[in-house]
């Protein structure tokens, strides 16, 4: 009985420590997605809702935030540009657009089919360049994110059914699963969504 009592105390202490553990970065991104969904629901027109869904964010800033309260909203809107592969920094130099993301891409990444369906309801062209986010050494369109949901962070524990549902939703909206991102420079992959695992440079003809 003494052993069992000590074991129960140890389990209780472990559970308490888990509850007191700092919030994970993934939790912060999910909180951000929830706040975006709330803004989407409050928006009163399709145009306003689209602006919420297509807002560009610096995913590096989002990943490094410890909580939504500590998120630097000014930095969240800097360090990237609207172009697909590159942006011009404050010094006038072209840089890879590796920090660019958006709420639709994040909802796909985190396997949230309800949010994806809601966001897609105001999207006319799911293949629009504005919805690109940086993936594995190349820009990803929503179809890329759905088929290779590992970037900028791998999200574990997502039910496969949710992943498949998201792919179906994108297909219903006309997502191009063979679309190549525009060529940027040598050494950067140019894979369409379906053969992402090839991990070899491909160029459009």
pLDDT tens profile 23-37: 455 778 899 999 999
Question: Mean pLDDT throughout 193-197?
Answer: 74
Domain-located, residue 12: no
Count how many domains the chain has. 1
Domain-located, residue 8: no
pLDDT band at 86 (very low <50, low <70, confident <90, very high): confident
As a whole number of angstroms, the distance between CA 200 and CA 191 comes to 7
Domain-located, residue 117: yes
Domain-located, residue 47: yes
What's the mean pLDDT when you consider all of the chain?
82
Domain that holds residue 35: 21-179
Would you say residue 7 has pLDDT above 80?
Answer: no
pLDDT for 181: 83
Domain-located, residue 175: yes
As a whole number of angstroms, the distance between CA 147 and CA 174 comes to 15
Domain-located, residue 109: yes
Question: Mean pLDDT throughout 56-84?
Answer: 89
Q: Is the pTM of this model over 0.85?
A: no
Domain-located, residue 186: no
Domain-located, residue 189: no
């Amino acid at each position: 009985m003494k052993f069992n009592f000590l074991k129960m105390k140890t389990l209780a202490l472990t559970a308490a420590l888990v509850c007191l553990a700092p919030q994970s970065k993934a939790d912060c991104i999910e909180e951000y997605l929830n706040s975006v969904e709330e803004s989407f629901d409050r928006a009163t027109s399709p145009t306003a809702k689209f602006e919420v869904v297509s807002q560009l964010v610096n995913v590096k800033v989002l990943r490094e935030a410890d909580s939504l309260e500590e998120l630097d909203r000014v930095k969240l809107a800097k360090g990237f540009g609207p172009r697909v592969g590159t942006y011009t920094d404050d010094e006038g130099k072209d840089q890879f657009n590796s920090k660019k993301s958006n709420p639709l891409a994040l909802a796909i990444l985190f396997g949230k089919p309800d949010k994806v369906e809601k966001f897609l309801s105001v999207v006319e062209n799911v293949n629009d360049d504005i919805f690109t986010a940086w993936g594995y050494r190349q820009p990803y369109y929503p179809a890329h994110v759905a088929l290779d949901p590992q970037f900028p962070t791998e999200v574990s524990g997502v039910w496969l059914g949710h992943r498949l549902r998201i792919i179906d939703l994108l297909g219903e909206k006309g997502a191009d699963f063979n679309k190549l991102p525009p060529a940027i420079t040598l050494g950067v992959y140019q894979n369409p969504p379906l053969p992402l695992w090839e991990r070899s440079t491909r160029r459009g003809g």
